[in-house]
A and B are shown apart, each in its own frame.
Chain A
Amino acid sequence: MVARRRQSIPDQTVRSSELTPSNYEAPPTEKEEFSLAAPKLGLMLSILALFLVPFIYFLFVRYPTEIDLRLSILVCIAISLCGFVATVLLVPVAARYLLRRNLFGRDINKKGTPRGAAKVPEALGIVTGIVFLVVAILVQLAVSFLQYNLTADSDWLVEYNAALACICFMILLGFVDDVLDVPWSVKLVLPFFSALPLVMAYAGHTSIIIPKPLVPYVGLSVLDLGLIYKVYMIMLVIFCTNSINIHAGINGLEVGQTVVISSAILIFNLMQIGASTDLDYKQAHVFSIYIMLPLLTTSLGLLAFNWYPSSVFVGDTYTYFAGMAIAVVGILGHFSETLLLFFLPQVLNFLYSCPQLFGIVPCPRHRLPRFDPQTGLLIGTSDMNFVNLFLRLFGQCTEKTLCIRLVIFQVFSCLLCFQLRSILAGWYK
């Protein structure tokens, strides 16, 4: 949800190319006018370390994985870290260009303070998206060149290219949305079109395993859904993209939730690789790692600027891109049910938001809390989403505290889901 009010009348001081044709291609020289706050690198690198330590432990110590696999994942980590650096370098550059083209918003949650009047560059998700695509391609090139893949290249090349096409198409549509501001009804169906290459390329089983307790009622232990499974895939994509979009509005929330979910997926992937002996099954999870690692690092690069207080806003470009990338690995990695468990807060937020989304309860333009400039605290309104629910349940707090609380809730959800899976594994399948 683009909670930041977008401006259509540009700043009158922007230079016009008509007046100075010879300077047309000079980069904007308003350096003195605009400079981004320094990235919060300390925080980001701590988060990165916090993730890499258990990840590398699982990879090298906890599970006996093949040396080839370990090396390929190391290569992926290395290239993804380069992506982190590239994102951190490119965001300020892109921000200047975006601001020059009047792609900015004002921070509604700071209205009444000086920061509320600042023009914050929008749609910086485009940087994350493009760096992600380049990193993902380079990872595949490297892994293929070094021949680290467990199964033949060609088996996974279709899936990989379909994933790339889907994610790229989603970034394109997301950026077009941010630039042109398409009506929300169009917004909803954009993910459908982006998901089509995936539906085409999905050559896996379209059957689901009936939970053991229900088998006597259903009469089958495995049910082949066929075409309905493809419909489910499309619904999953539409859900993932839009649910991140509506669980938003607080500095750093969109990127923060993505960082948590992708970390959880990466740990889960490693656990599945370690616990399995089926080559195809392992390759599916390796494939997921190759996509989630770049997502994690490029998102952290963006978060360095987007964490409270935000110097840049991420735009629908980011939320659609992240939702699509996560949905794609869930589908192609065959762990979409686990993915939905990690999305528990998003699911609850969506369900809770339904009355307003479907118009049964009045739905304002932004379902944001009320900001009190005097105290600097947010107060929950009666809007039906988690942001406001947390404020109503746990009392007023600063925007930063609220975001941290919501991100911690996301972390606990994921931990709970790991536990649940472990408990239910024997009973469920």
Chain B
Amino acid sequence: MAVRRRTSIPNQTAAQPNPEPGGDPQPPNAAPPADEFSLAPPKLGLILSVLALFLIPFFYLLFVHYQIESDLRYYISIGVALSLVGFWVTVWLIPVAARYLLRRNMFGYDINKRGTPRGEVKVPETLGIVTAIVFLVVAIVLQLFTLTADSDWLVEYNAALACICFMTLLGFVDDVLDVPWRVKLVLPFFASLPLMMAYAGHTSIIIPKPLVPYVGLSVLDLGLIYKLYMIMLVIFCTNSINIHAGLNGLEVGQTVVISFAVLIHNLMQIGASSDIDYKQAHAFSIYMMLPLLTTSLGLLAFNWYPSSVFVGDTYTYFAGMSLAVVGILGHFSETLLLFFLPQVLNFLYSCPQLFGFVHCPRHRLPRFDPQTGLLTGTKDMNLVNLFLRLFGRCTEKSLCIRLLIFQALSCLMCFGLRYILAGWYK
């Protein structure tokens, strides 16, 4: 949700190229003046700590805890290396892109800082486009290393690429043109069509053991309904990240936590299994999630509180689609939904307002008090305000950290749940 108020009338004092016919002092293709605008330095210390916090358990699981084939270890390590290159490219490109985006009046004002000097600053929007493009290039190059031309997974990989790319395109068009929200809702449907085409897996679900006597079957083939489920999953993942937003760093932060959890889950499944296809499915997910994690961290370096850039619907749609795609093609969509628990709860809690039973304002954001610098919860029915009402007022940064901790605890709980239920459930 683009909660930053977008303005169509730009700041009149910003230097603009002269529109007079003859003298166009700034040729359209020249770079915008560099001295007018500079982004705050990226919060690299914080981001690199988060990266280390992830890489250590990841490498431990990859090399020490599990006996994984050496070529798989090799490919995953290449994945990490290329994704780290992607991280640095993202960090390098964002300031460049921000200048171009600002020049084209793609910016917003930070509503949660209104009344303070920072609330008057023009914050460049839609920097998710940088993350997405770097992600696509890294994912493509990574596949050059990990797949041969006749691999079975080339179909899935290209379908995933097409979907994520189409979603990014539609998200960017949305950010630029500001399409009505009804159109926004159905965009993910179109972007997921290549996936429907390519999905050649089983469309059957395993009935939980306790329910088998009631259903009469242990495996139920859903066929076309499963494809419908896939489309719903895509629409859900993209839009749920979009509505669980509005605080500096929340959109990217939740994606980082979820993709981290997915990566650990993938490694655990590879380590615990001996089925080649099953392992390949999770390896495929790793090859997509690693670039997502690192390019998102590159974006977070600028988007973490206080945000120097905003991510736009481009980012939330792109991230949601990537996660949905790996969940579907890796055949672990139920686990994915468990990781999405906060988003599910937020969506359910938001339903009355989303469907109009309760009045729904344009932005369901908390109220900011410039004097104290604290956010106060409103009556809006989303987790952001709920946390403020339950745990009291706090700064925007603390609130975001609390919500991300909730996301992390959710994922941990889901790991625990899965472990407990595995024997009982399947």
**A→B interface (CB under 8 Å):** 2, 5-10, 12, 14-18, 21-22, 24-25, 27, 94, 97-98, 100-103, 111, 126, 129-130, 133-134, 137-138, 140-141, 144, 154, 157-158, 161-162, 164-165, 168-169, 171-173, 175-176, 179-184, 193, 196-197, 200-203, 365
Contacts and interface: CB of A to CB of B under 8 A. Distances in A.
15 contacts: A8-B103, A12-B9, A18-B7, A25-B178, A97-B179, A126-B173, A154-B200, A157-B198, A161-B198, A162-B154, A171-B169, A175-B169, A176-B172, A179-B104, A200-B140
Contacts, number: 165
Contacts of A98: 177
Interface residues of B, number: 61
Contacts of B208: none
Contact of A8 (B16, B137, B154, B181): B16
Nearest to A129: B169
Contact of B5 (A17, A22, A27): A17
B178 A101 contact: yes
The prevalent SS among residues of A at the interface is helix
A144 B197 CA distance: 8
A141 B196 contact: yes
Contacts of A182: 29, 100
B36 interface: no
Nearest to A193: B137
B17 to A, nearest CB: 5
Given A24-B362, A158-B154, A180-B100, A172 B172 contact: yes
A80 B364 CA distance: 42
B30 A183 contact: yes
Contacts of B140: 193, 196-197, 200
A15 B8 contact: yes
B21 interface: yes
Given A14-B9, A17-B6, A181 B29 contact: yes
Would you list the 8 A-B pairs with minimal beta carbon distance, nearest first? A161-B158, A97-B177, A180-B100, A165-B161, A164-B162, A165-B162, A168-B165, A16-B9
B155 A161 contact: yes
Contacts of B100: 180-182
Contacts of A193: 136-137, 140
Contacts of A202: 149
B193 A179 contact: no
B121 to A, nearest CB: 15
Contacts of A21: 5, 362
B129 interface: yes
Nearest to A174: B169
A203 B165 contact: no
B119 interface: no
Nearest to A19: B9
A202 B197 CA distance: 20
Contacts of A134: 190, 193
A203 B149 CA distance: 6
Interface string B146-167: 0101100011001101100110
